Structure 1
Amino acid sequence: MSNQEVESNMRKSVDAAQRNFNTIRTGRANPSLLDRINVEYYGADTPLKSLATISTPDSQTIAIQPFDLGSLTLIEKSIATSDLGFTPNNDGKIIRINVPPLTEERRKEFCKIASKYAEEGKVSLRNIRREAIEKIKKLEKAAEISEDQSRDEQDKVQKLTDRFIAEVEKHLIEKEADILKV
């Protein structure tokens, strides 16, 4: 596994953690809050953003305009049964979701969820590091690289890991600040 591969895999892990952070509610309406919503559409689990235009007309409202009006009630049902705690309002053409301001208790809860996502991202990064170091050690054992080269490569992998873990931490701090901002 080359350093570029390791770096690429670690970048993907950080991006996945960032996408998870984006699904956590802050005090403002944001279309990415609905990223994890899937709708049972013609027998297939379909991501909501494939079925509708999602916008935020103001800081407290999310508007969902389905491409097919027949999917309106299905979308409404999926949002209502999700773990987001939103109550969708259907006017026959558009579904509106009022995003209420968060209570202090909910903010703390969302910070815990953000921490969990950050930890998952870090675990993923550590797994990539472990795999890369195992491959380096195999190369050393097979006498394809020297002990010094092996140590240098392991140091490079560790530095990459440290850099990406710091990036996940930075994203977590930003997200927590966003959640706690009233």
Structure 2
Amino acid sequence: MKISNPIIKEAQEKMSKSEDSLQRELGNIRAGRANASLLSRINVNYYGVETPLNQMAQISVPEARVLLVKPYDKSALKDVEHAILASDLGISPANDGSAIRLVIPQLTEERRQELAKQVRAKTEDGKVAVRNIRRDMMDQLKQSEKDGDLNEDELHSLEEQAQQVTDESVKNLDLIADDKEKEILEG
């Protein structure tokens, strides 16, 4: 849908950012499969500087449930191992002297249900954010009418566009959540 009003365009961009944020948050939920994004929040104390793990090591997925972390600097292997142990990942690293293997354990049915609930909760947070953006957008449109920038018919038309943009964003959030839930439950 082509949007020409700057208020709706700005709101649409904010909603898109909410969708991206949900995608990133759900990427951090462990679904029983190896995924490099599981390590995206881990920082390593590297020569006194907190450095993101993905900037100082190659992270690959050699098997469906195995992550392989190869630091570019082999002397940082112990630091990487300590950072992974200190994280909330809950996976014990296996250090073979040149790389670290992380074996993602199979999820129990109970744990799958808990993770699915987390997905739904994070999705609801995303929907709340989208509804807040919609509310602000509607307030701005009504203010534009009061200021004389819009007549009543234009306001009504723009409100319909705003609702369409909102509905589209909510639908996208649901699709993102459904994909993640399916990944978790089928594992």
Tell me the TM-score range normalised by the shorter chain: over 0.9
Counterpart residue number, 2:172: 167
Counterpart residue number, 2:150: 145
SS of corresponding position for 1:65: strand
Deviations 1:138-159 (A, max 9, x none): 1111111112211221221111
Change (3 A) 1:102 1:123: same
* Matched ranges for 1:86-125 at <5 A: 86-125=91-130
Counterpart of 2:82 (choices 77, 80, 91) is 77
Distance in 2, matches of 1:155 and 1:75, equals: 52
Distance in 1, matches of 2:92 and 2:78, equals: 13
Change (3 A) 1:43 1:120: farther
Distance in 2, matches of 1:156 and 1:115, equals: 27
Counterpart of 2:60 (choices 44, 55, 59) is 55
**Structure 1 residue 64: Cα displacement:** 0.3
The count of residues paired between Structure 1 and Structure 2 equals: 182
Deviations 1:80-124 (A, max 9, x none): 122221101112210110111111121112112211221221122
SS of corresponding position for 1:2: helix
Counterpart residue number, 1:127: 132
CA contact (8 A) 1:53 1:67 kept: yes
SS of corresponding position for 1:25: coil
Structure 1 length-normalised TM: 0.92
Letter in 1 for 2:72: F
Distance in 2, matches of 1:113 and 1:36, equals: 18
Distance in 2, matches of 1:122 and 1:164, equals: 8
Counterpart residue number, 2:42: 37
How much identity, in percent, do the aligned residues show? 41
**Structure 1 residue 43: Cα displacement:** 3.5
Distance in 2, matches of 1:146 and 1:113, equals: 44
RMSD: 1.5
Structure 2 length-normalised TM: 0.90
Counterpart residue number, 2:22: 17
Unaligned runs of 5+ in 1: none
